[in-house]
Amino acid sequence: MAALAVPLLLPVLTATQHTSATIPGISAYTVTAGFPTSAFPTYWEAPVETQEPQPALYDPVLNITFPLNLTNPETIPTTDNDPIYYPQPLANISNSSTAALLQAAYTNITGIIESNTTASNCTKCMAALNVGKTVAQYAPESVPDLLVKLCEAFQFSSNATCVDNYAAGSFGAIWTQVLALADVTGLDGRYICNDLSSTFCPAPATSPLNVTGLFPKPKPKNACAPKASGKRVKVLHLSDFHLDPRYSAASEANCSAGLCCRTNVHATGDAVGQVTVPAPLYGSFKCDTPYYLGLAALQAIAPLTGTHGNSSVAWTVYTGDLVSHDSQNQLSRAYTEYAEVSVYDLFKEYIGSPVFPVLGNHDSNPEAIDAPHSLPGPLGQQFSWNYNHVASLWQQNGWINSTTANEARLHYGAYSVLNQYGLRIITLNTDFWYRSNFLNYINTSNPDVSGMLNFLIQELQAAEDAKERVWILGHVLAGWDGSNPLPNPTNLFYQIVDRYSPHVIANIFFGHTHEDQVMIYYANNGTVQTSENALTSGWIGPSVTPLTNLNSGFRMYEVDTGSFEIYEAYTWFSNVSSFPHLNVSKTGPTYQFEYSTREAYNISWPEASPLDAKYWQAVTEAMETDFSLVEKFNTFQGKSSVLTPNCTSAACAKAKICYIRSGSAVLGRQCPQGYGSVQSAFDPPST
């Protein structure tokens, strides 16, 4: 645990300066035409009206300037040449023995898949995994080619997707580690098979959790949050920037597959190079954030939030994901490092105040993969390159000190820091409960293989002892509809939140979905969902990227400096559907006020009461009798996008209320499914 060493510029406003009838800055801000060339010191290709810039980025940690061909839209790579890690083989076998082993494995797996026995798909899948395990243990470097061959032979995906998914340089070597180290005929195997297809194995039930001895001390009796000080500061919440330096204006914005607004994609029925819907300079619904849009959002923050000069934002939380949604064969360590340098540099220049970032699932390579230190040999350190890099960048930007940077290197990019107002901020690497981190399928019965949640417990206990208030920051949300996280780790997280709320944990923040959402954490596993049991809120921040079918947005909170509760939350957006119609020689896009959380739902809520879990419980209770409030929430979820589907049915309304009340995957999966995301039409299961 370390205190933040930064100059103490402490802007505060009294509780009476802002009433619920006001907004903090101007209502809308239109960005000036052109690109602010001062954003970067030098360029490979300077910005012009018809194309994105290519800054010549210098990495002060690696002491390199990233080459133009890394991000040039005309030279998008198709292979990833980063180091590949395999498990140590149990024995050295000859080439001929390897060939025989591979042939036998292919024959056995084919026989299992094609057999007409009465065995269930789940039994067959785990039997096939067990054959693969032998290959992974004795000939690990041969596993990716075997996986690609099997995928193509049984048409699990297109041939191109089979290569993208299982080639050694994508996820093939990761799956090799999983096969070699997981219990493929037990719980691990059921998780793996369910991940491959829900028709192979059903989702495993949540494992029993024994909390005996989990916490260093029992929860204090009558634990309650401290009183408010009456002084408030402005805190910015940014999420999911997803910078796309390979964005190409006038390329295809409505492509048939992959990330659009790239030179290497096309619309259905067209060839590469043909364009049906030209990509606007500032972005589009199926594309990530071009430099022009990212800079527009950053320029809009100060005038909209009213944080000019000495009234600057007190601090910023950034809930992860810097890198664009490329297919794995187009990604690399260097591309990840480029995004980290570029976006953090922009934050430092345009925000100014301390930024507290977390790593998102896209802030790694391979994407979404992080390895627990407990894996054998070098496998446990295979992602240290990234933790070392971001920790050094955060320290150089003055956001954390050297002690905290060393902590981040050790804890997978996570850290605990006391900020300049006395709030403790604890960040987590939530890849360790993300279902797409395939290394989580090793030892699934242990909800904390990485030790990440033990780190959280120790930090929360120290904060309780010191009478500190805490914000927890992560990326992948712990609950909602339960589609993103794994049940066992998020079940444990829920118990941790219960133990240290409401007296220690003031708020929790996530990103990942790109949507504007919220969750409520209750006492006793949410078995009784009432105001008396509502403990803590989990705020999911809106994304800067429009992907997919969303507007671009961000949020600011007004926070009391005594209780560190939120008393107001303002959200802004830019209408992506207007971007094709901009005359970019005369104007950029407009960011505008969307809503005030305190005012939006028309509930009777005392002005002196925070927007805490009890507030959100009251909102959901109002929603139960007035479904129009759910439709309003649904509109905000997509940041007022014209492509957001309507939520006007009783089924949709009930599902949304259930998601808001679900802070873990366990709870979320008990809700009606099919209404979780607004990025496409709702798809509830047929009855």
Check the annotation: does 242 bind a ligand: yes
Strand, coil or helix: 637: helix
Asked, as a colleague might, if the bond just before 60 is cis with ω within 30 of 0, I would say no
At residue 327's C-alpha, the angle toward residues 449 and 83, to 5°, is 60
Are 495 and 211 within 8 A, CB to CB? yes
Q: φ, ψ for residue 253 (rounded to 5)?
A: -95, -10
Cross-strand partners of 3:
418
Asked, as a colleague might, if the bond just before 548 is cis with ω within 30 of 0, I would say yes
**Cα dist from 286 to 164, 256, 368, 475, 631, whole Å:** 20, 10, 20, 21, 24
Whole-angstrom distance, CA of residue 537 vs CA of residue 469: 14
Going 521 to 524 to 525 to 527, the CA torsion angle's sign is negative
632 CB contacts (<8 Å, ≥6 apart)?
A: 600, 601
Whole-angstrom distance, CA of residue 386 vs CA of residue 375: 17
Cross-strand partners of 520:
537
Tokens 């007022």 appear where?
640
Q: Which of 388, 385, 380, 424 is nearest to 405 (CA)?
A: 388
**Cα dist from 58 to 81, 258, 394, whole Å:** 21, 29, 15
Check the annotation: does 237 bind a ligand: no
Q: What is the DSSP letter of 309?
A: G
Side-chain-side CA neighbours of 547 within 13 Å: the count stands at 25
Check the annotation: does 514 bind a ligand: yes
Strand, coil or helix: 452: helix
Check the annotation: does 325 bind a ligand: no
**Burial status of residue 501 (CB atoms within 10 A of its CB: 0-12, 13-18, 19 or more):** buried
Whole-angstrom distance, CA of residue 513 vs CA of residue 496: 23
Check the annotation: does 266 bind a ligand: no
Are 400 and 417 within 8 A, CB to CB? yes
Question: For residue 95, how far is the Cα from the chain centroid?
Answer: 43
Q: What is the DSSP letter of 465?
A: H
What are the binding residues for Zn(2+)?
Answer: 240, 242, 321, 361, 475, 512, 514
What are the binding residues?
Answer: 240, 242, 321, 361, 475, 512, 514
